[in-house]
Homo-oligomer: A and B are copies of this chain.
Amino acid sequence: MRNPQLNAKGELQHLLTTEGLPRAILTSILDTAEPFTEVAEREVKKLPLLRGKSVFNLFFENSTRTRTTFEIAAKRLSADVINLNINTSSAAKGESLLDTVDNLAAMQADMFVVRHAASGAPHLIAEHLANTGKDHIHVINAGDGRHAHPTQGLLDMYTIRHYKREFTGLTVAIVGDVLHSRVARSQIHALTTLGVPEIRVIAPKTLLPSCVERLGVRVCHDIHEGLRGVDVVMMLRLQNERMQGALLPSPQEYFKSFGLTPERMALAKPDAIVMHPGPMNRGVEIDSAVADGPHAVILPQVTFGIAVRMAVMAMLAGVK
């Protein structure tokens, strides 16, 4: 069975998940992103690579932040961008996901950036496009359910490579609500493929998927043990909706046990970096002294994120 993200020549056709993406493709995305970081420094932040292409931001779940990063990336590549928030539109009229996709495909879309609450929706769309002879349209997963958020995973890899150069000697800790996190999944698959030898996940038992060890990670329920000697700390966002649930005693309790404080960061390597996908809950999963401190590379992540998204779009648009 062929990887649905690659075409017959093994080129990137869609970006659906970091799982199963060959190392060469991952590295190629990171390499392609490098010059795009310079575009953003220019007087005129604009390249003609997607001129005359129609990019649809297809958001079935609200996310201004993620939508904005894709919108900027596409506009800097000169694409025509159409934002669709589908909660309030055809979905309400009872049209099925695939009928919506068929319609937009018939409008000669070139690219769909898809955010959906259901895991697998972008896969389903990509498969449907293939079945209907429309696989010249590229799909980028902008986050689906608890499944994947591959551009976030990729920008995290870019950030790590930027600061640490090589993946092969690193110890990386992922801290927080791994259970509900599509970001964590995308990170773990990418880190593994890129050769990171030790990945730790740090979380209370209630916020870890069962059998998480099968992903090749080491589980730590104690943050002190987990942070000891790490090169990279990847924080996860604790979603507000979890905090009221039975999974967590209270935000204060969580911070006491798993919040990233300067004292805890002192256990990591002196040159360790701290990452966060945003938006942060200051005082819940992360102390402001860390978020704004010398280890944090949280804002560079955002900057690299634009370049990585431009790279993915440019690569996809270059594939015939």
Contact = CB atoms under 8 A, between A and B. Distances in A.
Interface of A: 40-46, 51-54, 62-65, 68-69, 71-72, 75-76, 80, 82, 84-86, 88-90, 93-96, 99-100, 102-108, 240, 278-282, 299-303, 305-306
Nearest to A69: B107
B108 A88 contact: no
7 contacts: A44-B53, A45-B54, A64-B85, A72-B80, A94-B281, A106-B300, A106-B301
Nearest to A239: B93
Contact of A306 (B85, B94, B108, B300): B108
B72 A302 contact: no
Contacts of A301: 106
Nearest to A106: B302
Contacts of A103: 65, 278-279, 299, 302
B279 A94 contact: yes
Contacts of A299: 102-103, 105-106
Contact of A52 (B46, B105, B279): B46
Contact of A279 (B53, B69, B90, B106): B90
